Structure 1
């Protein structure tokens, strides 16, 4: 039994219905900040449990759960005399698999009107109980926000029957290792171990030991003297006032426990170690052991690659048979878990690396920063390190000293794999400029990038003219149509000698020097106090 598809409407960042098909085993969701990764995990968990942020949502309704654009449209409509219906949040989960439990959830009570097994979680206006009061508010013009006090949260199966999480055979465990919902160090996680691991007799033994500590504490002579002074100072009727240990409930002792790691209180150990421990503790509970869907939020936080590798290996080894949905910003996580499972979110649209023609290329480059282009607002693709340095400096000179990344533009060195990265950029609708040498054959470049010629978000920048000369290197003609010769052509021998700190006597001497010292020359240009002139194709690439 697995989750085959999730559909989200009007929940947080998703206004129009967002649909995502899920793999049966592993799903790695990546995207920029505010792209909706966390919302997907929350929506899946909410539809299966009715819980959000550890609390039942029906008791915690707020207008902030609704998509902002949907809210604004509704509020504006109230001013027109023809108000829109109160907006509703809908989360649908379509299940796959064959079992008698799933059969009970089967029906056509879903947005697609198809026979399937699944659940629908809705936050909607309770017309049956609040139609009159709501219409009175609308008529009086007093509504300025979504009236969530008139809303109800419901969970129904596709068979159109009301259900609870107990009726759903697919269980979920949502793990956010960055959560700071801690009291007394790590009592949240200690309590989980106590509830799920200890037997009832063991719990009773701990409770008795805790009670003995309380009795010893109360009998201490110093405490008795302090309590006598407190009673005298308080003067509350004829009753005494004292301080003691909380035993107001049978489980009060749970909240007074603190976890120690090598005799150091949990909250004082490193953040990375905390993340590993919290995640493993969460996975070790009975609830997670029984869960068929593990939802993991950004496991890379605070972790080195070595510890992250350990955590990922543990996750996949222990829960390989489960459906796992992970959100991440880390190329390491994406590469380690396999790019076949990578789902990229951008502007509420989904792209899967496995579906690209260039999929095999990206899989083989497991060590590459795969997500750099996918997460970029804009990008400039260059061939090598020297091109990257020069383009960075050109941008800085044109934009008051700001690096491209400060404006959300990533300059990425991709070798000769421009076409593969352009396929990914086109699929994600990322504005991209390519900076490339014409190598003496501009017509070949026109043919190479013909598929992107009509795409307004992709610009191919290269010098249209072909330069020639008599210089040879090892009896082979020198290539005058790469970056370094073009820079010399734009600036002249004297100016470039001054920037590079060289004393070349002829243009050919400087051409050979720059050819043999590409990176050093580019570094000198990048760090120079004096700006240089750049070929037109570079200035075109950095133009926003």
Structure 2
């Protein structure tokens, strides 16, 4: 298993380290946070390839960390030039596996004596003169000349690698991939080839070559005869059409899978995604020790996604899985304790969550937990009425909705406030919670979560008992009764304003939200919460 990942200078990662879980790792983060780049880096170090091509052939200036490149070019004009940017990716492996001992060594950045593999991208010494001349040219663009860089792929014993170590088999599956005329992507083709025995592969290759020969000598015979009649006019040597028999025309490049007699590329995108993930997870442990899965939820209905997540859990076995997702369902079902949260190429550390809280969110697989995980600042409220009133109060103070200023207001919708605060505490989130007092003193509700609160960071806001047990009487007390009856169009003269509001909880809050021109006052605990997250 991978016990430590080090990535330096690659894409968003300036200096990144991660100690992954032995089993499943769920990588989440905003767009451009580095999720895909992390999986790409792991795959590069394990296989030496990217998108089916050798790293050296795919190397380009955009692999390098932008900030590192900008700093380097700026230093060239400062009189104190820095060394050229480099890329280092290291995978440290468990030291209790006899089959990995030939990878053991201390040739890594930490000088740890463990098995491992690394990829180092740096200027090639053979082109030092050309590199220096390029950098000395005042007219050169601020782009690294990667043509003069080399990719060095080694194990920690310092032996150069030319192919993936057989013990480090990996399945790479990107569910975001849409259908293509090529029929099937490289990784899917590689997984399907696992089902073919060497003897069968040889037999298919011979049959494929024979079929091409028959097409060339028989099917195209009449065509080539007509071409030969014009031969003198075309060229001084015979010209004809023949099927390609070179290595580039191997049967592996021609064969495509089918789904219920429909070519794979023509199957629905949801079906493609499910099949790709199923293939990845069905590979034997001898074939693959690692599975890298990009967004398995793509193109799938909720029912199909449920089945797919069940399959991932069932088939993970002893494999180490790295999975990116934008789905709260996937995160909840596989477990918050497996969360790896990224923010702009940096790991956000998750404190230890109680096991019962992890199980709690697993049972609530439909709850939008990712909003809590990814929010910069979060306000947790009990229901839609509280949410609309808070957003109106925030908008009155700032002239903008909370989300425009990085504040996400989330209705807990029956989720325990303590569970939500536990998650916010583990993620060091700036969070406010708003709740009714329900006829009990605020301290009664504060005590169970007191250890999760932090001055200026996490706080709970509750109205005083004397002002009413819920939002409705609290709101009515600080506003003129006649003004509220007019605003909410209360025509029943026998019904008190508060009673009408209790019977029409969402209606009055929605009316308030839809009439920003009407000036109202807010209960003190609501205003305090607005100030807290501002």
The normalised TM-score by structure 1 is 0.82
Structure-2 residue corresponding to 1:351: 349
Sort the Cα spacing of 1:305 and 1:181 in 2 relative to 1 into closer, same or farther, 3 A: closer
Contact 2:155 2:161 in 1 (8 A): yes
Structure-2 residue corresponding to 1:112: 110
Contact 1:6 1:21 in 2 (8 A): yes
Structure-1 residue corresponding to 2:203: 201
1:305 equivalent in alignment to 2:302: yes
| TM-fit CA distance, 1:313 | 3.0
Structure-2 residue corresponding to 1:267: 265
Structure-1 residue corresponding to 2:482: 494
C-alpha distance in structure 1 between counterparts of 2:31 and 2:191, whole Å: 31
Contact 2:461 2:526 in 1 (8 A): yes
Structure-1 residue corresponding to 2:372: 373
C-alpha distance in structure 2 between counterparts of 1:228 and 1:135, whole Å: 56
Structure-2 residue corresponding to 1:23: 21
Structure-2 residue corresponding to 1:122: 120
Sort the Cα spacing of 1:428 and 1:66 in 2 relative to 1 into closer, same or farther, 3 A: farther
C-alpha distance in structure 1 between counterparts of 2:244 and 2:501, whole Å: 77
Structure-1 residue corresponding to 2:3: 4
C-alpha distance in structure 2 between counterparts of 1:171 and 1:372, whole Å: 35
Structure-1 residue corresponding to 2:359: 363
SS at match of 2:497: helix
Using the TM superposition, name which of 490-499 and 443-452 deviates more: 443-452
SS at match of 1:295: strand
Once the two structures are superposed, what CA deviation does each residue of 1:409-458 show, in whole Å capped at 9, x if it has no partner?
Answer: 32112357444433433443433333334567456677777667765444
Structure-2 residue corresponding to 1:431: 430
SS at match of 1:156: strand
Once the two structures are superposed, what CA deviation does each residue of 1:259-311 show, in whole Å capped at 9, x if it has no partner?
Answer: 4433444333321112122333455668x861111111111111122212222
Unaligned runs of 5+ in 1: 469-479
SS at match of 1:199: helix
Structure-1 residue corresponding to 2:322: 325
Contact 1:48 1:165 in 2 (8 A): no
1:338 equivalent in alignment to 2:335: yes
| TM-fit CA distance, 1:395 | 4.6
Contact 1:193 1:285 in 2 (8 A): no
Structure-1 residue corresponding to 2:44: 46
C-alpha distance in structure 1 between counterparts of 2:169 and 2:194, whole Å: 18
Sort the Cα spacing of 1:105 and 1:186 in 2 relative to 1 into closer, same or farther, 3 A: closer
Sort the Cα spacing of 1:449 and 1:145 in 2 relative to 1 into closer, same or farther, 3 A: same
C-alpha distance in structure 1 between counterparts of 2:286 and 2:5, whole Å: 23
| TM-fit CA distance, 1:252 | 5.0
Count of residues paired in the alignment: 520
Contact 1:30 1:344 in 2 (8 A): yes
C-alpha distance in structure 2 between counterparts of 1:378 and 1:518, whole Å: 26
C-alpha distance in structure 2 between counterparts of 1:323 and 1:193, whole Å: 20
| TM-fit CA distance, 1:486 | 2.6
Contact 2:39 2:292 in 1 (8 A): yes
1:294 equivalent in alignment to 2:291: yes
C-alpha distance in structure 2 between counterparts of 1:398 and 1:270, whole Å: 49
| TM-fit CA distance, 1:217 | 4.8
C-alpha distance in structure 1 between counterparts of 2:37 and 2:392, whole Å: 39
Structure-1 residue corresponding to 2:84: 86
SS at match of 1:104: helix
Counterparts of residues 152-301 of structure 1 (less than 5 Å): 152-167=150-165, 169-180=167-178, 182-186=180-184, 188=186, 189=188, 193=192, 197=196, 198-209=200-211, 211-212=213-214, 217-218=219-220, 236-237=234-235, 251=249, 254-282=252-280, 290-301=287-298
Structure-2 residue corresponding to 1:472: none
The normalised TM-score by structure 2 is 0.83
Q: CA RMSD in A?
A: 3.7
Contact 2:12 2:34 in 1 (8 A): yes
| TM-fit CA distance, 1:374 | 0.4
1:514 equivalent in alignment to 2:501: yes
C-alpha distance in structure 2 between counterparts of 1:284 and 1:271, whole Å: 20
C-alpha distance in structure 1 between counterparts of 2:114 and 2:43, whole Å: 20
| TM-fit CA distance, 1:154 | 1.2
| TM-fit CA distance, 1:164 | 3.7
Sort the Cα spacing of 1:240 and 1:351 in 2 relative to 1 into closer, same or farther, 3 A: same
Contact 1:379 1:412 in 2 (8 A): yes
Counterparts of residues 411-490 of structure 1 (less than 5 Å): 411-414=409-412, 415=414, 417-437=416-436, 441=441, 455-458=455-458, 460-462=460-462, 467-468=466-467, 480=468, 482-490=470-478
Using the TM superposition, name which of 407-416 and 189-198 deviates more: 189-198
| TM-fit CA distance, 1:228 | 9.2
Sort the Cα spacing of 1:289 and 1:38 in 2 relative to 1 into closer, same or farther, 3 A: farther
Contact 2:422 2:452 in 1 (8 A): no
Structure-1 residue corresponding to 2:13: 14
